[in-house]
Amino acid sequence: MEGDITARMGNLVIQIGVLLFAVRFFGFLAKKARISSVLGELIAGVVIGPYALGAIPLPGFPSGIFSLNSVSLAVTPELYGFSIVASVILLFASGLETDLALFLRYSLAGGVIGLGGVVASFLLGDVAGMMVFGCGIMDVRCLFLGIMSTATSVGITARILSDKKKMDSPEGVTILASAVFDDVLGIILLAVVMGIVAALSSEGGQVSIDGVKILLIAARAFGIWLVFTAAGLVFSKKIANFLKIFKHSYDFSICALGIALLLGGFFEKQGLAMIIGAYITGLSLSATDIAAIIQERIHGLYKFFVPLFFAVMGMMVNMRELMSKNVLAFGAFYTLLAVMAKVVGCGLPALGFGFNLKGALRIGCGMIPRGEVALIIAGIGLTAGILDEQMFGVVILMTLVTTLFAPPLISASLSINGKGTKKEARSTDNVAFTWDFGSDEIADLVIDIFLKDLRSEGFYVQMMNISDGISQARKDGISLSITETESVVKIETSAEDSGFVKNAMYEVLIRLGNLVQDLKENYVPEKINFFDQSEVSRTSSDILKLFAPDAVSVDLKGTTKEQILQEMVMLLANSGAVRNWETVLADVRERENIMSTGMQHGVAFPHGKSDAVTHTCVALGISRNGVDFDSLDGEKCKVFVMIVSPKKTSSPHMLLLSSMSYILRDEKNVEELLKCPDAKSLFEKMKEFAARKNNS
C-alpha cells in the first residue's frame, strides 16, 4: 500500500482542498441559519464523507474522493493525522484563552456552578450507559459516556448573549466564568477517566479491578495532571523567556505549539489523552506576556486546521447507523440527561449565589451546548475501539441536538421579563459604543492596546473564541464586552461604567495618535533633507509628456489658498484630463488640509489622487504677488505646480512630484520661472529645466 505513496499523497491534497472549501460552504450555511459554524463543519464532513457523497465514484476516483479507509478508521491515516494536530491546536488555543491565576480571584460562583454542571453531567452520562448496557458504573463505555457530556461549548452562548446585549448581565458574566471552570474541570476528569480506562483495558476490559486500585489509578492520573499544571503555572515565565530566544514572534509562537504537541504526545504515551497536554501548555502560557501574540500568530493555523478536525469527525459518522431506531432512542435519552445535567447541575448552585429561579434557569440553559471537546473524546473512543459506530452516533446526536436547540432555549430564557438576581445589586442598563476605524489593521491595533491597558488596570480579559473576535473583561463589579468585526469595534458595558470606557478609549487614541505623530514629525521635509542642494535626482523623460501648454498661467488672481487651488484646478481642466473639477478640487483640498504642500523659496505643490481625472495631469501657475500657503519656511508662495493622478490606474504621481520638487529646489530655477513674461515662455522654460535634468 505504501508503495503507491505518490498516489496517496495526490489524494490527500485533493481531500484537504475539497475539505477547505466544504467546511467554509457549510459553515456559511450554518451562519445563515444562525447555528454554530462548528455544526456546519461537522455536517460538511457527514455529507461529503465516506458514508455519504464521498464514496460516489468519480472520474479519477473509482471509489470516490473520500473512500472508506477501514471500519475502525473511516479516513486515511494521513488525513486523520491532520485532524489530530488540529485537536491539539484547538485545545492549546483554548488553554491560552484562560488566564487561570487571575481568574480565580474573581469568581467563586463561576467555580462552584461549573463544578456542579461537570459532576452532574458526568454522573448522568455514566448512569445513562449503565441503564442501556446493564453494566457497572466503571464500565469503560459508561465512563466515556460520562466524560463526553461534561464540557460545555460556550461560544454559542456567548454569541447569543452578545446579540442580546446580555454579556454583561449578572447571568452572562456567571455563565462565561463557569465555562472557564468547566473547561479546567473537564480536563481533570478526562485525565482521571483516561487513566482508569487505560488500566481497565490493559486488564482485559470491564470491571475486573477493585475500588482501591481504581482510586490509585485515578490518583495517579490526577497527580500527573496536577504536577504538569502546577509546574506549567509556576514556570510559565521561564517557559515564556525560553521561547523568546526565538526572536521572531512567528517562531516562538510555533515553538509554543511545538511544546503543546510534545506534551500532548507525552500524555498520550501515559495512556491519558493528547488534548490534556495541549490544554495544559496553553493554560501555562495564558498568564504570560506572549499569550496574546501567540494567539494572533497561530490564528492562521487555527483557521486552516480546526475546521478540518470537525469535518473529519463528521466523516466518521455512519449515517445508516445513526438513523437506526436504537441509536435514535439511545441518543434522545442521552441528550435529555445531558440537558438536564447542566440545567440542574449549574442552576441549583446558582440559587446559592444570589440568583433567583429565572436567573438559575438562564445560567443552566446557557451551559447546555456541547461541542468540540465531546467530539474529540468521541473520536478517541472510536479509534481506540472503546466506542462502536452506534455509540459514536449517539454522541454526535447529542452534540447536534444540544447545539441546535440550545440557542432558542437560551434566547427564550433571556426573554423572560424580570431580573435574574434576588437583590437589585446594580443597574443593568447597558450601553454600547461603536467605533469604525476604517481599516482592520487600525482596529486590531486599537483593540490590542485597549486590552493591554485593561490588563494593566487589573482586569481579567477572557477571549471567547479565537474566531469570533469577542472578548470580555471583568474586574470586581465592572464588566465590558468587546467585539471586533472587521474594522468596527463595539464595546458594551453598563451605563455607570461608560465614563470609564470613554476615558480609556480616549487615552488609547491619544497614544496611538501620538505614536504616528512622532513618526511624521521625525520625517518632516527639513529633517529628511528634502532640500539638500547637493543631492542629485532623476527626472523621467515621460514627465514632459504630461505637461499641457494650456494648463499654464503667469497671472493667478487668487489671494487665498482656496482661490489659488480653484484657479489651478481650472487650469488643469484645460489639459482635457478633468472629468469633474469640483471633485478634483475636493480631492486636492483634502490632501492640503492634512499638511500644506507649500515648500521653500515660494514654491507649492498642491497635489492629490482623484477619480475625476483620466490620467496624470500637471498645471503650472505663477502668482505675481504671492499668497500665504502655510509654507514650511513661512514665505508667501508664488510658483504653483499642481499634480493630479487617477486613483485606480497606475500613474507616475510620486515620480513626477519628486522630479518637480527637485527642479524647484534650486532657487535660481525658481527665479528664472518668475521672470517669464507669459504662459508660453513659462511652459518652454519648464520644459527646458525638465529636459536638462533628464540629460544630466
Instruction: For residue 519, give the C-alpha cell.
Output: 513618526
In the complex, the smallest distance separating the C-beta of residue 428 from its own copies, rounded to whole angstroms, is: 13
In the complex, the smallest distance separating the C-beta of residue 527 from its own copies, rounded to whole angstroms, is: 10
Cell 482521571 identifies what position? 192
In the complex, the smallest distance separating the C-beta of residue 348 from its own copies, rounded to whole angstroms, is: 31
In the complex, the smallest distance separating the C-beta of residue 12 from its own copies, rounded to whole angstroms, is: 5
State the binding string over 613-652 for its own copies (x if CB under 8 A, else -): -------------------------------------xxx
581 binding its own copies? (CB under 8 A):
no
In the complex, the smallest distance separating the C-beta of residue 123 from its own copies, rounded to whole angstroms, is: 27
State the binding string over 270-299 for its own copies (x if CB under 8 A, else -): ----x----------------------xxx
662 binding its own copies? (CB under 8 A):
yes
SS3 598: strand
**Do residues 141 and 132 touch, judged by C-beta distance below 8 A?**
no
In the complex, the smallest distance separating the C-beta of residue 564 from its own copies, rounded to whole angstroms, is: 20
198 binding its own copies? (CB under 8 A):
no
- Binds its own copies (CB under 8 A): choice among 315, 505, 578, 664: 505
204 binding its own copies? (CB under 8 A):
no
Q: Which is nearer to its own copies, 514 or 560 (CB)?
A: 514
Part of the chain binding its own copies (CB under 8 A), chosen from 143-151, 175-183, 206-214, 247-255: 247-255
251 binding its own copies? (CB under 8 A):
yes
Residue 547 bridge partners (DSSP): 618
SS3 224: helix
* H-only helix segments in 203-324: 211-234, 236-243, 249-269, 274-286, 291-297, 299-315, 319-322
384 binding its own copies? (CB under 8 A):
yes
Q: How many residues bind its own copies (CB under 8 A)?
A: 134
**Do residues 353 and 375 touch, judged by C-beta distance below 8 A?**
no
In the complex, the smallest distance separating the C-beta of residue 669 from its own copies, rounded to whole angstroms, is: 15
**Do residues 393 and 327 touch, judged by C-beta distance below 8 A?**
yes
| Rounded Cα–Cα distance for residues 55 and 47 (Å) | 10
SS3 624: strand
78 binding its own copies? (CB under 8 A):
yes
80 binding its own copies? (CB under 8 A):
yes
Helix 37-48 with 389-415: angle, nearest 10 deg? 150
Helix 154-163 with 389-415: angle, nearest 10 deg? 20
In the complex, the smallest distance separating the C-beta of residue 293 from its own copies, rounded to whole angstroms, is: 10
Q: Which is nearer to its own copies, 358 or 419 (CB)?
A: 419
Instruction: For residue 523, give the C-alpha cell.
Output: 520625517
- Binds its own copies (CB under 8 A): choice among 57, 223, 408, 458: 458
352 binding its own copies? (CB under 8 A):
no
- Binds its own copies (CB under 8 A): choice among 94, 481, 661, 669: 661
Q: Considering only residues 302 through 341, tell me which ones interact with its own copies, judged by CB under 8 A.
A: 303-304
Q: Considering only residues 44 through 63, tell me which ones interact with its own copies, judged by CB under 8 A.
A: 60
State the binding string over 412-451 for its own copies (x if CB under 8 A, else -): ---------------x-----x-x-xxxxxx-xxx-x---
The DSSP code for 71 is S
| Rounded Cα–Cα distance for residues 164 and 656 (Å) | 54
Q: Which of 451, 456, 442 is nearest to 515 (CA)?
A: 442
State the binding string over 88-127 for its own copies (x if CB under 8 A, else -): x---------------------------------------
Instruction: For residue 319, give the C-alpha cell.
Output: 449515517
691 binding its own copies? (CB under 8 A):
no
| Rounded Cα–Cα distance for residues 654 and 247 (Å) | 36
576 binding its own copies? (CB under 8 A):
no
Q: Considering only residues 121 through 150, tell me which ones interact with its own copies, judged by CB under 8 A.
A: none
SS3 471: strand
519 binding its own copies? (CB under 8 A):
yes
Maximum alpha-carbon separation in the chain: 111
Q: Which is nearer to its own copies, 248 or 325 (CB)?
A: 248
In the complex, the smallest distance separating the C-beta of residue 590 from its own copies, rounded to whole angstroms, is: 9
In the complex, the smallest distance separating the C-beta of residue 690 from its own copies, rounded to whole angstroms, is: 14
Residue type, 55: A
SS3 35: coil
**3-state DSSP: the chain helix, strand, coil percent, rounded to 5?**
60, 10, 25
Q: Is the dihedral of CA 363, 369, 372, 376 positive or negative?
A: positive
SS3 of 125-188 = HHHHHHHHHCCCCCCHHHHHHHHHCCCECHHHHHHHHHHCCCCCCHHHHHHHHHHHHHHHHHHH
- Binds its own copies (CB under 8 A): choice among 262, 340, 404, 570: 262
